[in-house]
Amino acid sequence: ALKILEGCINCDMCEPECPNKAISMGEKVYEINPDLCTECVGFYDNPTCLSVCPIDVIIKDPDRVEDHDTLYEKFVHLVNED
Ligand code: SF4
Ligand code: SF4
């Protein structure tokens, strides 16, 4: 999963772009729910939130390192939940 750092300026660019609705407003800045973030696997070649963020405050969450297969399994699981 990816993670938004505290330097986020709440520009609102990333939230509507997330195909998994993993991004929402937190207490101070936007947050990514790691259980919903597939790093865009299943939808796009690259994480779309990273592409639209005007500053570099979205990183790979060091506490949620997942390989491609794991992210794809998460994608399949989430799609089947809908
Ligand atoms: Fe959403 Fe993709 Fe960003 Fe994860 S990487 S929060 S799935 S836009
Ligand atoms: Fe924050 Fe970047 Fe999202 Fe804007 S695009 S709300 S700066 S994480």
How much is the ipTM here?
Answer: 0.98
CATH code where residue 32 lies:
3.30.70.20
Q: What tens digit of pLDDT does each residue of 27-49 get?
A: 999 999 999 999 999 999 999 99
Q: Is 15 helix (H, G, I), strand (E, B) or coil?
A: helix
Q: What is the pTM assigned to this prediction?
A: 0.96
Residue nearest to atom 1 of ligand 2 (CA): 8
Taken as a whole, the chain contains a residue count of: 82
Dihedrals φ, ψ of 58, to 5°? -110, 125
Q: Where in the sequence is the domain holding 24, given as residue range(s)? A: 2-81
Atom of ligand 2 nearest to the CA of 13: 5
At 81, is the pLDDT very low, low, confident or very high (cuts 50, 70, 90)?
Answer: confident
Q: Which ligand neighbours the alpha carbon of 74 most closely?
A: 1
Long-range CB contact pairs, 67-76, < 8 A, 24+:
68/41, 71/38, 71/39, 71/41, 71/42, 72/38, 72/41, 72/42, 74/38, 74/41, 75/38, 75/41, 75/42, 75/43, 76/42
DSSP, collapsed to helix, strand or coil, labels residue 23 as strand
Q: Is the CB of 10 under 6 A from ligand 2?
A: yes
- Number of structural domains the chain divides into: 1
pLDDT digits (tens, 9 = 90+) for 6-33: 999 999 999 999 999 999 999 999 999 9
